[in-house]
Amino acid sequence: MTQFVEWSAALSVGIDEIDAQHQALIDLINEVQDAVVGGLDREHQLDALGRLAEYTKIHFAVEESLMRIFGYPDYERHKAQHEGLIRSMLDLQRRLDDDRAALDDGLMRHLKHWLLDHILQSDQDYSRFFLAAGALSRHQKPSWATRMWDHLHFCGSKCWS
Ligand SMILES: [Fe+2]
Ligand SMILES: [Fe+2]
C-alpha cells in the first residue's frame, strides 16, 4: 500500500545516519496521517503528533550540532527554518489540546511538503558542504558522534526550547 510520505533515493543526503533519521521522521508522519485518516480520537492523534514533535527536535539538534562542529556557513538560516517548524508544531499541539484546531488534510499536506522541501533543499545543501569538505570522512567514527553528544549534553534542553 502506498504510504502518505514515501522514502526515495532522491531524498538521500549521502550520510547514512541522517538518512536513517529522515526515514524515521517519515514513518512518524505516516503514523500521524494514519491516526487522522483512521478517524482515531484526539488523544491518539495528539500522541502520534507528540512522538513526531519529539523526534523532530532530536533530529534538528543533531543536524545543528553537526553544522556547528563543521563550521557550516549557512547555519543561522538553517536553524531558523528548524525553529519555525518547531514553533508551528508546538502551536498546533496547544490548539489541538484546547480543541481549537483539528488535524486535517491541509495541515498534513503542509507538514509533508515542509519536510520534503527542507530535505531536498536545505539538508542537501549542508550535506554537500560536509562531503566536499571531507568533514565526515575525517570525523565519522567515533569522534564526530562523540563531539555531537558532548554538545547535546552541554546545552541540554536549552537547545530545543
Ligand atoms: Fe534540517
Ligand atoms: Fe533533516
Dihedral angle computed from the Cα positions of residues 66, 19, 13 and 3, in that order, rounded to the nearest 10 degrees: -140
Of 29-33, 68-72, 128-132, give the range with the top mean pLDDT: 29-33
Q: Are 59 and 46 in contact (CB under 8 A)?
A: no
CA of 41 to the centre of ligand 1 (A): 31
| C-alpha of residue 81 to centroid of ligand 2, in Å | 11
pLDDT for 10 beyond 90: yes
Cα angle: 53, vertex 107, 61; to 5 degrees: 25
| Cα–Cα distance measured from residue 107 to residue 35, given in angstroms and rounded to the nearest whole number | 13
Task: Report the alpha-carbon distance of residue 72 to residue 4 in Å, rounded.
Answer: 32
Q: Please list, in sequence order, all residues whose beta carbon lies within 8 angstroms of the beta carbon of residue 117, skipping any fewer than 6 positions away.
A: none
Measure the N-to-C terminal CA separation of the chain; round to a whole number of Å: 37
Domain ranges of the chain: 15-159
Residues 17-66: pLDDT tens digits?
Answer: 899 999 999 999 999 999 999 988 989 999 999 999 999 999 999 999 99
* Distance from the alpha carbon of residue 86 to the mean position of ligand 2, in angstroms: 13
- Measure 61 CA to ligand 2 centroid, in angstroms: 10
Look at residue 157 in the predicted model and tell me its pLDDT: 47
The three three-digit cell numbers of residue 108, written as one number: 498534513
Counting ligands in written order, which one lies closest to the CA of residue 82?
A: 1
CATH of domain 15-159: 1.20.120.50
What tens digit of pLDDT does each residue of 76-102 get?
999 999 999 999 999 999 998 888 888
What separation in Å is there between the alpha carbon of 25 and the centre of ligand 2? 9
What residues are neighbours of ligand 2 (ion), with CB under 5 Å?
123
Report yes or no: 62 and 22 within 8 Å, Cβ to Cβ: no
Residue 116: count other Cβ atoms within 10 Å of its Cβ.
Answer: 18
Compute, in angstroms, the gap from residue 97 CA to the centroid of ligand 2.
27
- Please report how the helices 75-97 and 105-118 are oriented relative to each other, as an axis angle in degrees rounded to 10: 160
